[in-house]
Each structure stands twice: as structure tokens, then as C-alpha cells.
Amino acid sequence: MTLKPSLDYDDVADRLGAAECHGFLAGLVCASGIADQKVWIREIFEAYDPKDALQSAALAALQDLYAEVQTDLNSPDLDFHLLLPEDPASLRERTEALGFWCQGYLVGLGIGGLPPSQKMSAEVRELLEDFSRIANVDFELDESEEEQVAFEEVAEYLRVAVLVLYESLQPVGEPAPGIQ
């Protein structure tokens, strides 16, 4: 799995929990269409201080991440990708990041205002259950080629699932506006 060159896992991970933050922002956007910056700053930073250089750098990375999520989810080319570590990261590290991504995504959906389950289609409910299962799985890995392929297939399944959920929760219309 290759990430788009504009988003690099290590650059974001230096300032944030990259996978979890990316999942969180994707969940917010899927649930609400647009995410109020005040909401996600409050969720990610316990106490944001604009005078703190590290927090300011992290916020700048988050703003870039949010803008990319917004753009990718609205792309007619289905450009959205999960922000996960690539090789040479171990399969264990990549799999743990995938679990954190799913956890962040589910939290983002909840905070973004996911509708009650009885108002969701059976397909949407099933996809959300899959995210929950993957977020909570403790993987036993042996770094085999078969395990690598299985990881790639799960990551691709989740990527497509996010696009399906976004389309289901944010019906086609005008693209969502940029950062607020």
C-alpha cells in the first residue's frame, strides 16, 4: 500500500498519533460533512495553547491532515487512503496502527454526529461492526507473505468501507467546504 506523496505517516507521527488522528478526522468528516476545527482541537489537545511551539506545529499538521481528508473524500477519483506506516515498518507496527486508525475513526464518527443505528442501513451497521472488530482485535502475526497480503486486503477493505460510509452518510451534492 502506498500513500499519496503529500501525506507521509512519519512526518505526521512525529507530531501526533498519525493513524488515530487521521482516522478521527476521517470519521468526523464522514459523519458531519465538515468538522468544526474547535471540536477536533478540543478532542485532540487536552489544553491547546497557541503559544506552545510544539502544539502549534501539531495543529498545523492536523490542519493539513484535515484538508487532505476533506479533499480525498470528495475526490471523484476515490483518492482516499488510510494513513498508516509503510515498509520497512514491521507488520505488527502496521497492524497496530490499523487498529488505532479504526478506533480514531469510530470516535470521530461518534463526535461528528452519527445517526442512531435504527436510521442506518443494514450495510452501514455491518461496516461499523467491522471497524469495531478490527479496532479491538489483538493480532498474532508471523510476518509471513500470507500475513502481509491479508493486511493489505483488510486495509483496502477499510479504505473502500470509508468511501461507502461517506457516500451513505453524506449523499452526493455539493462538495463540502474547506476548513472552518
* Alpha-carbon radius of gyration of the chain: 16
Contact 17, 100 (CB under 8 A): yes
* pLDDT bracket for residue 162 (50, 70, 90): very high
In this predicted model, what pLDDT tens digit does every residue of 75-109 receive, in sequence order? 999 889 999 998 788 888 899 999 999 999 999 99
When pLDDT is averaged across residues 29-39 and rounded to a whole number, the result is 87
Ranges of H-type helices in 45-90:
53-73
pLDDT at 98: 94
Bigger pLDDT: 72 vs 179: 72
pLDDT at 2: 34
How many angstroms separate the CA atoms of 117 and 124, rounded?
9
Bigger pLDDT: 40 vs 165: 165
Contact 71, 34 (CB under 8 A): no
pLDDT at 49: 82
Bigger pLDDT: 54 vs 6: 54
Contact 155, 9 (CB under 8 A): no
